């Protein structure tokens, strides 16, 4: 009899626990799937900084790396804005490196020696800052020396070279965040 009441008690306890879990409320951060983005995203709603396209991706930001984790040499590593990541210092680093390479007659992959420099093949620019990089566009990683001088890209982003341009790409979406254009235009 004692064994039967022990089983009954365990069964009633399990049923009670199962029922109470179904009555629990969702935490604040759980969006609910009805367009409610949770508390974190509500702060950005009124802060669109002149975003004319209504595209929420245009105002993406990356948080600073936790202390003790390297976030790159760039003071801009924590601030990623579409069309506004690369500054004059980064442009100078890239143009100096590639300018020396071009003058020495060394063309990076994807560029051909033409006249007195390296030129991209006769294709028009196939990307738009703020939009996904088309899948058919070929890109190349930057030399480590250039990445070191630029500073590591922010977490979730990478530097690539497309033709004679340097791009900052979002890794998951392949969105072109910013570009340094026309490296061969000396």
Q: What is the CATH number of the domain that holds 130?
A: 3.10.450.160
The DSSP secondary-structure symbol of 129 reads: T
pLDDT for position 124: 59
Q: Is residue 119 part of a domain?
A: yes
Provide the domain limits for residue 160.
Answer: 88-180
Tally the domains of the chain.
Answer: 1
R_g of the chain computed on alpha carbons: 26
CA distances from 5 to 1, 10, 12, 13, 85 (A): 6, 9, 10, 12, 69
pLDDT tens string 21-75 = 455 555 554 445 444 444 444 333 334 444 444 443 333 333 333 333 333 444 4
The two most distant CA atoms of the chain are separated, in Å, by 99
Q: Is residue 42 part of a domain?
A: no
Q: Is residue 15 part of a domain?
A: no
91: three-class secondary structure by DSSP? helix
pLDDT tens string 87-123 = 899 989 888 888 777 666 667 666 655 555 566 655 5
What six digits make up the tokens of 66?
A: 């936790």
Q: Is residue 83 part of a domain?
A: no
């Amino acid at each position: 009899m004692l064994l039967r009441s022990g089983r009954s008690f365990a069964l009633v306890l399990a049923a009670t626990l199962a029922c109470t879990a179904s009555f629990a409320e969702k935490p604040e951060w759980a969006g609910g799937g009805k367009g409610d983005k949770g508390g974190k995203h509500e702060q950005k709603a009124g802060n669109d900084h002149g975003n004319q396209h209504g595209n929420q991706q245009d105002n993406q930001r990356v948080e600073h790396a936790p202390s003790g984790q390297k976030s790159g040499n760039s003071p801009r590593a924590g601030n990623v804005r579409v069309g506004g990541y690369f500054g004059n210092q980064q442009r100078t680093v890239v143009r100096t490196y590639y300018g020396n390479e071009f003058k020495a007659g060394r063309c990076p992959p994807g560029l051909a020696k033409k006249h007195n420099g390296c030129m991209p093949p006769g294709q028009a620019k196939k990307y738009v800052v703020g939009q996904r990089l088309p899948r058919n566009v070929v890109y190349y990683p930057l030399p480590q020396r250039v990445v070191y001088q630029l500073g590591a890209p922010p977490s979730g982003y990478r530097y690539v070279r497309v033709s004679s341009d340097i791009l900052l790409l979002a890794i998951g979406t392949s969105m072109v965040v910013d570009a340094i254009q026309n490296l061969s235009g000396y």
